[in-house]
Amino acid sequence: MNAHQHAAPRVSLVTGANKGIGLETVRRLVAQGGTVYLAARDTARGQAAAAEVGARFVQLDSRDDASVSAAVDVVEAEQGHLDVLVNNAGITGPLRDPHDYIADDLAEVLETNVVGYVRVFHAFLPLLEQSAEPCVVNVSSGIGSFGLFHDLDRVEATAGTPLYGASKAAINMLTVRYARLLPGVRMNVADPGMTATDLSGQRGHSVTDGTDAILHFITDSTDTGAYRDRDGHLPW
């Protein structure tokens, strides 16, 4: 373990960060003293959110190669490296009677929640590899856990959202595979739990509680290829 292990992150970028889990993650990273890029699709909302928490705004739509490439160019020009990437941008997708889902519903969810994460990660990987201690946190969900699905005492066992759950299970597998293939990059999966945001209809615990696992992986952990919520490690 070197001297930087528990130091405040120097340069971080959080996607989908103009509200909810993303915005709270940015706020907490700014409070640690790092340079933090708040990345969001909507420029007006993103700029307002960044001004509110003292972050730098960068426009980024994880579904668009040109947008992601332009964001990489900004960080490269201004910083030359990236220490922390938090892949957070995601959607629930349509909630329908299970008879009524169509293939395009799943395509939309996977494009944002899975393909978007991979697009952003690969675009920023060269800058991450310029860091002494690159760290990637992929924000997922306990709804993507087979272990929790089979635990009937857990809310994750009774949740519907098959499309969202499938997208998060995909993120979990991608994360552990990349973590093993790229041992120089710490990469982990954070489950915010049921957090009171627009995504959950404002049900659940506070956004601060919801970001505890993300911050743990960034500042208090040497793990890679791990999966946890604020209370500890989770079954896959």
The per-residue pLDDT for 4 is 43
Whether 2 has a pLDDT exceeding 50, the answer reads: no
Residues 11-233, CATH architecture: 3-Layer(aba) Sandwich (3.40)
Q: pLDDT tens digits for 106-155?
A: 999 999 999 999 999 999 999 999 999 999 999 999 999 999 999 999 98
For the chain, the structural domain boundaries read 11-233
Tokens at 151, concatenated: 């635990």
* pLDDT interval class at 41 (50, 70, 90): very high
- Are 22 and 94 a contacting pair, CB within 8 Å? no
Helices 103-110 and 162-181: crossing angle in degrees, nearest 10, is 40
Q: pLDDT tens digits for 7-20?
A: 556 999 999 999 99
Task: Kindly state the average pLDDT of the residues 224-235.
Answer: 96
Task: Kindly state the average pLDDT of the residues 215-223.
Answer: 96
Has 37 been annotated as catalytic? no
CA distances from 196 to 193, 206, 212 (A): 10, 6, 14
Q: pLDDT tens digits for 143-196?
A: 999 999 999 999 899 887 899 999 999 999 999 999 999 999 999 999 998 876
Q: Which of 37, 164, 178, 227 is catalytic?
A: 164
Q: Determine what percent of the chain is predicted with pLDDT higher than 90.
A: 87
- Distance of alpha carbon 89 from alpha carbon 146, whole angstroms: 22
- Are 155 and 89 a contacting pair, CB within 8 Å? no
